[in-house]
Amino acid sequence: MTDEAICQVIGQKNFFDACNHIFDLEQSKTVDKAKIDALYNKLEERMWEVVKTAVQSGDGVLLEPLKSVAASLEWQKQKKKEQFDSNNEMEGTSTWRPKYWNKDLANLLIDCMAAQFPSAEFAISTDEMALKKHLKQLETTVLPTLECRRAFFKEAGLLTIYRKCCNVCLSSHLTTLIDCDFNFSTCLLVYEWGLNMCKSCSEKLLQPSWTLEQKVSVEALCLVRIFSNLEEKLLAAAKEEVREALKETITPRKKLVTDTTVVKILTEGAEAVQHISERLRERVEVACLEEFQHFLWSYENEERSLHQPDRPSESCTKLQVFENCIVLRAAWHKLTYIYNTNADMDAKVKEIISRIEEEGREYLWKAIAPEVKATLKKHFRSHDSHLTKFLVPLKSNLLAFEKKGTDSYEMLIRAVHHRIVMEYVQALLTGYRKSRPKQQRSITRRIEQDYETLQDLFVKCLERTSDHHFGHGRHSQSRR
């Protein structure tokens, strides 16, 4: 058959017949190779034109030409196999045009499909509403169109390569979406949309019964990796959100709100994903609890940096750390009931909070100790009660403590009381040894007055504790 006749066959979209005619002509040694290449080139142009139109319009009249394209690909595959089996490859096989048809078809399908996707850059560069609109457009327009076109390619025998190219396009688009700096809610929006998309489109566009937890075909592995990366990004975003919320809520020298606020910060992420899967909820839970533990370490270091002689502060601000620890301990107690916390993490969190309190008590005493010593130094040789003047502001700060009904508050009161009494006894022994007999009687009266002053401060503080939490039994015991 002449090249003019072959061109007519190509024009009639009988691509498979054209392949055979060109190949027969190719076997003739008298035909110029450039003419053969020109025929293959014309054949390719017409085949890809049919494929492109089928993807863009879904015109049913293209079904037979699509079948001819599929047959041509099978012909190309068979010819390569025959040449390989015969160990007599045709001359110039490395430049044989049909050799690259599968790759060319895949690139063409990907380009045609990608052209139907709206730009992801605009959606991720604006706000969450723009992203929602973008995802909605994909869901209602792009994906249904790809599903509709699938019928032609399935009947034509091109379903495998069509699915493969759909995976590539969806993977590429999702990768563009998740590569930007999303917060937790936006990341969750993309994750949930993508998961629903894969479940709803699996039968038609991806592979039968595809889910994130199951083994998948080679074509879907890229999507699996993307979802794995997206899930890790979701966990990182959850941690970041918890970290920032805790930093804003819990700051040294800043009054903490309530333990309910802390619990809410640490449970919002898990509650947001619990409808997706139990596995994802558990992963978010663990991530948030780990971030809480890391935050406590940083909070401890921040408190410690403030426990420096060159960082003076009022007694009331020094007491704030104890109220914060009380809130943190109460929040953690609630979290251990909400989440399945492991024993190791539970022990570490409690240890950190107790350590912060212990260091806070030491810092508080170091801060007030010089004033206590200076007050008591001449206390027993002076007619004025400097001790009373010192205790009045301390009493005011201790009574202003909001978390009185707790063991931490009682421990703080008893620790301060013990330290002051020890300093008082030391000053008393020193003053008594240096006093004259006439002064010893006045020292005895001063001791009685100081006892009443200390009782007024510490017993009243413990009375408030008893009224709030410990009951009359402990109250009576503290008075004794």
Residue 43 in this model has a pLDDT that exceeds 90 = yes
Residue 473 in this model has a pLDDT that exceeds 50 = no
Q: What is the model's pLDDT at position 253?
A: 67
Q: Which of 109, 138, 165 finishes a domain?
A: 165
Q: Are residues 246 and 138 in the same domain?
A: no
Task: Give me the half-sphere count of Cα atoms (radius 13 Å) on the Cβ side of residue 27.
Answer: 8
- Portion of the chain with pLDDT greater than 70, in percent: 81
At position 250, the amino acid (one-letter code) is I
Question: How many CB atoms are closer than 10 A to CB 76?
Answer: 19
Three-class DSSP labels, 161-222? HHHHHHHHHHHHHHHHHHCCCCCHHHHHHHHHHHHHHHHHHHHHHHCCCCCCCCCCCHHHHH
Q: What is the model's pLDDT at position 471?
A: 36
| Residue 263's pLDDT band (cuts 50, 70, 90) | very high
Task: Look at the block and give the residue holding tokens 């978390």.
Answer: 403
What domain range is 161 assigned to? 1-80+98-165
138 and 117 Cβ atoms separated by less than 8 Å? yes
Token pair listed for 311:
């960082």
Token pair listed for 378:
């001449």
Q: Are residues 320 and 444 in the same domain?
A: yes
Q: Is 230 part of any domain? A: no
Minimum mean pLDDT range among 338-352, 370-384, 466-480: 466-480
Radius of gyration of the chain (CA): 40
Q: Are residues 315 and 449 in the same domain?
A: yes
DSSP state of 99: G
Read off the pTM.
0.74
Q: Are residues 294 and 433 in the same domain?
A: yes
Q: Rounded distance, CA 447 to CA 432, Å? A: 11
Torsion of CA 175, 180, 186, 191, to 10 degrees: 20
Map residue 116 onto helix, strand or coil.
Answer: coil
Which has the higher per-residue pLDDT, 95 or 378? 378
| Residue 340's pLDDT band (cuts 50, 70, 90) | confident
Torsion of CA 186, 192, 197, 198, to 10 degrees: 120
Q: Rounded distance, CA 335 to CA 87, Å? A: 72
Instruction: Name the domain count of the chain.
Output: 2
DSSP string, 410-479: HHHHHHHHHHHHHHHHHHHHHHHHHS-HHHHHHHHHHHHHHHHHHIIIIIHHHHHHIIIIIHHHHHHHHH
Question: How many CB atoms are closer than 10 A to CB 34?
Answer: 8
Q: Are residues 255 and 124 in the same domain?
A: no
Task: Look at the block and give the residue holding tokens 């700096």.
Answer: 181
Residue 320 in this model has a pLDDT that exceeds 50 = yes
Average pLDDT over residues 78-82: 83
Q: Is 87 part of any domain? A: no
- Give, to the nearest 10 degrees, the angle between helix 143-156 and helix 184-201: 30
pLDDT (tens digit, 9 = 90+) per residue, 365-396?
Answer: 887 888 888 888 777 777 666 777 787 788 77
Map residue 329 onto helix, strand or coil.
Answer: helix
Q: Is 118 part of any domain? A: yes
Q: Is 93 part of any domain? A: no
Q: Is 469 part of any domain? A: no
At position 463, the amino acid (one-letter code) is E
Q: Is 306 part of any domain? A: yes
Q: What is the model's pLDDT at position 477?
A: 36
pLDDT (tens digit, 9 = 90+) per residue, 218-238?
Answer: 555 677 788 888 899 999 999
Q: Rounded distance, CA 67 to CA 388, Å? A: 102
Q: Are residues 149 and 263 in the same domain?
A: no
pLDDT (tens digit, 9 = 90+) per residue, 170-212?
Answer: 888 888 888 877 889 989 998 998 888 777 765 556 554 445 5
Token pair listed for 208:
């039968």
Q: What are the C-alpha distances in Å from 133 to residues 124, 127, 130, 176, 193?
A: 11, 10, 5, 16, 12
Q: Are residues 20 and 157 in the same domain?
A: yes
Spatial CB neighbours of 333, under 8 Å, sequence gap ≥ 6: none
Q: What is the model's pLDDT at position 70?
A: 95
At position 24, the amino acid (one-letter code) is D
Q: Which of 165, 189, 213 finishes a domain?
A: 165
Q: What is the model's pLDDT at position 18?
A: 92
Minimum mean pLDDT range among 6-10, 164-168, 288-292, 457-461: 457-461
Spatial CB neighbours of 101, under 8 Å, sequence gap ≥ 6: 44, 47, 72, 73, 76
Residue 438 in this model has a pLDDT that exceeds 50 = yes
Q: Rounded distance, CA 303 to CA 299, Å? A: 6
Token pair listed for 54:
């089928």
Q: Is 468 part of any domain? A: no
Q: Is 473 part of any domain? A: no
Residue 17 in this model has a pLDDT that exceeds 50 = yes
DSSP state of 256: -
171 and 222 Cβ atoms separated by less than 8 Å? yes
Q: Rounded distance, CA 242 to CA 184, Å? A: 10
Q: Rounded distance, CA 88 to CA 91, Å? A: 9
Q: Which of 123, 138, 165 finishes a domain?
A: 165
